[in-house]
Copies of this chain bind each other. A is one copy, B any other.
Amino acid sequence: MTDYRNLRVALLGAGSVGSQTARLLLEHADELASRVGARLELAGVAVRNLSATRDVQLPAELYTTDAEALIESSDIVVELMGGIEPARTYIIQALTSGADVITANKALLAEHGTELFALADRVGAQLYYEASVAAAIPILRPLRDSLAGDRINRVMGIVNGSTNYILDRMDRYGDSAEDAAQTALELGFLEADPTLDVEGFDAAQKVTILASLAFHTRVPVSAVYREGITGVTLDQIRAAKNAGYVIKLLAIAERLTDPETGADAISARVYPALISREHPLASVYEGKNAVFVEAEAAGSLMFYGAGAGGVETASAVMGDLVSAARRHVAGGPGLAQNAHADLPLLPVGAINTRYHITLRVADEPGVLARVASVLATHGVSVENVLQTVPDAADADGTATLVIGTHTAREAALAATVKELAVIGVVRAVSSVLRVEGI
């Protein structure tokens, strides 16, 4: 047996992800040692409650409530507690003491990433966070390293498993939004408080992380345009299906041209949108995640896999841990983060995309002409129109008009919809959905 030096690994948290990370570390100790060239010694596991019963059995002496002492005596610190505090303080302590840090904490990175990366750079330590976006899927390292010599134009991800599960149930099984959410809750796809997921906050946190890696720039999470899935109806999903689309909650980070300056700018946004059933993202079912990347040279790429789960997330944590450990063994400085571009962030009004507008209109001659003229006034051009004649269900004698537009500027579309809502022949604007993907 080779004699290796030991690297002391501190684990902060032993919940879904932490306990699985501890298990993998202990079970694969020999294999990891030979891959790394050093033994990864689990120095301790910080928790709140020493007497909790846990999924994975670890030697009792590993647990501690004294996270600070544990951090102080470790080479690598793995933060899997979640939340802002004390996670932030512990990471700062670890980096300051020269330890490399691994975290899966998207909420913390979205809020305080700038501060933490700057600190890591200053002290020459590394902060790894592959698990923070799309759990098991290797997406951050490919964006940072594999595509480092290319120019990424767009990242479009299904990065929240809970909402994908709900939308998929509605689409493939015809469940109502309520039934789908209930099933998601029962199967553990949804938290007791689903707000973070269904309102798109979780996806917004992830899009800030994706955008900063893809465009070498910082995006404050508060600046991300965000719509959740609570407004998505079964009717919309059915209509989308009939037209060859599926509705997915998309997290999009895109390179645009600033119309004022002509220079590069970016957009970061989260909303439910139609995508064609031919698009690779359309067959991302259940709680799976996928990130679709468009780059100048590479063309279209997709990364697909489990977007949540204790053991799946632990896989990504372990990958970071091995990278950190190899660096310790090889020696030499870490690679600095380089968010050097500082591109301006444009509001959602500046994006260009296609739209599906569903209107309830009077069933009388000339309606289409009237509606079309409103679109024309705002420079929005029509790609296709579907008009249904009133049937038994339309007791009020109104017809449904579905308009698919060509690419238009969001601001022009918003103005169009505003005007459509008040012209006489339109009884109601039932739905406006963006269409994404080629």
Contacts and interface: CB of A to CB of B under 8 A. Distances in A.
Interface string A155-183: 00000000000000000000000000000
A266 to B, nearest CB: 15
SS class, residues of chain A in contact with chain B: mixed
Given A138-B146, A332-B333, A297 B318 contact: yes
Contacts of A130: 146
Contacts of A312: 297-299
Contact of A319 (B150, B309, B311, B322): B150
A259 interface: no
Identical chains in the assembly = 2
Contacts of A104: none
Interface in A294-333: 295-306, 309, 311-312, 314-323, 326, 330-333
Nearest to A314: B297
Nearest to A24: B297
A149 interface: yes
A147 B315 CA distance: 7
Contacts of A330: 332-335
Interface stretch (A28-36, A198-206, A351-359): A28-36
A145 interface: yes
A336 to B, nearest CB: 8
Given A303-B303, A304-B302, A315-B297, A24 B149 contact: yes
| 6 A-B pairs with least C-beta separation | A332-B332, A149-B318, A138-B146, A298-B315, A297-B315, A148-B322
17 contacts: A20-B297, A37-B336, A138-B138, A141-B141, A145-B323, A148-B322, A148-B323, A149-B319, A149-B320, A280-B283, A298-B316, A299-B315, A300-B306, A302-B303, A303-B304, A330-B333, A330-B335
